[in-house]
Amino acid sequence: MLCRFLERIHAAGADSIGLLGSTGGYAYLRREERQRAVRVAVECVGGKTPIIVGVGALRTDEAQTLARDAKMAGADGLLLAPMSYAPLTDEEVYQHFAAVAEAGGLPLCIYNNPSTTKFTFSDDLIARLAKLPNVAAVKMPLPANGDFAGEIERLRAITPDSFAVGYSGDWGAADALLAGCDAWYSVVAGLLPSPALALTRAAQAGDSSAAARINDAFRPLWELFRAFGSFRVMYVMANLLGLARIEPPRPILPLSQEAHSRVEEALQNLKSVSSSIP
């Protein structure tokens, strides 16, 4: 099943694949399940599309072990979020990242995801982490004030030239890419890689009209992501697209039938414009 998803992403021409991120449900998986996922991914698309593996864990030693597992299996990069039960200080997060980056020995992306981790990276902390060996990128949430260009300029001024600034939050992807960010860490591309790539390439080319047109086709889906959480909606999408018969891990509950109908309508809206997507 996993290979089916990954082959579609590779065939669409994605620049990389994020494995075991939030949509991959990494926080709900045991070490053995994560190891199996990375092994399958490498067997399926390794050497063809770079694979970035999420290694977040509550304890530093566990995250270090997951980072080593990913490297040993053939991953190309790592994604790390500061998971916690007790709220973390900046120094605790710095030491956590330093230890995992050293253990993994691969390019590592800072995962700034305050909606789930309840920790927000300050500019100063990002700048400090960017000086560490192997820390190569940051995955940012959408800025509350919508000023992508200002935030990107500010972060680039305090990080090395090679440091990449990207964004999550699919409904802001077009604006982020048009503002010049280095990457869109997409949720929807896991199941709809071709239209997601079309949006990406249009925005990267500076074609704001094409990007707006494609983004408008996605808009009903973005509304559902914000209403129900993209994690829940993606399970519905996988079922409706006939790619898998799966439900989210408990305690996350499946969405209602009414929500299923709304997701189906959103997918139909995308299909209706698919012929005009370059």
Query: Each residue of 106-147: pLDDT tens digit?
Result: 999 999 999 999 999 999 999 999 999 999 999 999 999 999
- Report d(CA 241, CA 264) in Å as an integer: 9
Return mean pLDDT, the chain. Answer: 96
For residue 19 the two structure tokens come to 């494995």
pLDDT in tens, 174-202: 999 999 999 999 999 999 999 999 999 99
pLDDT in tens, 218-269: 999 999 999 999 999 999 999 999 999 999 999 999 999 999 999 999 999 9
pLDDT in tens, 64-97: 999 999 999 999 999 999 999 999 999 999 999 9
- What b/e sequence results for 232-270 when a residue is b if at least 16 CB atoms lie within 10 Å of its CB, and e otherwise? bbbbbbbbbeeeeeeebeeeeeebeeebbebbeebbeeb
Question: What is the separation, in whole angstroms, between the first and last Cα of the chain?
Answer: 28
Verify whether residue 271 is a known catalytic residue: no
Give the pLDDT score at 271: 80
Verify whether residue 111 is a known catalytic residue: yes
CB 135 within 8 A of CB 102: no
Q: Percent of the chain scored above 70 by pLDDT?
A: 97
- Looking at domain 1-141, its CATH superfamily turns out to be Aldolase class I (3.20.20.70)
Query: Token pair 């999420």 is at which residue?
Result: 54
The pTM of the full predicted model, rounded to 2 decimals, is: 0.95
Q: Which residues 6+ apart lie within 8 Å of 157 measured at CB?
A: none
For residue 38 the two structure tokens come to 């990375």
**Among residues 111, 167, 185, 235, which one is catalytic?**
111
- Give the residue from 144, 156, 198, 152 showing the smallest Cα distance to 174: 198
**Among residues 26, 71, 139, 167, which one is catalytic?**
139
Does the annotation place 23 within a ligand binding site? yes
For residue 275 the two structure tokens come to 């012929």
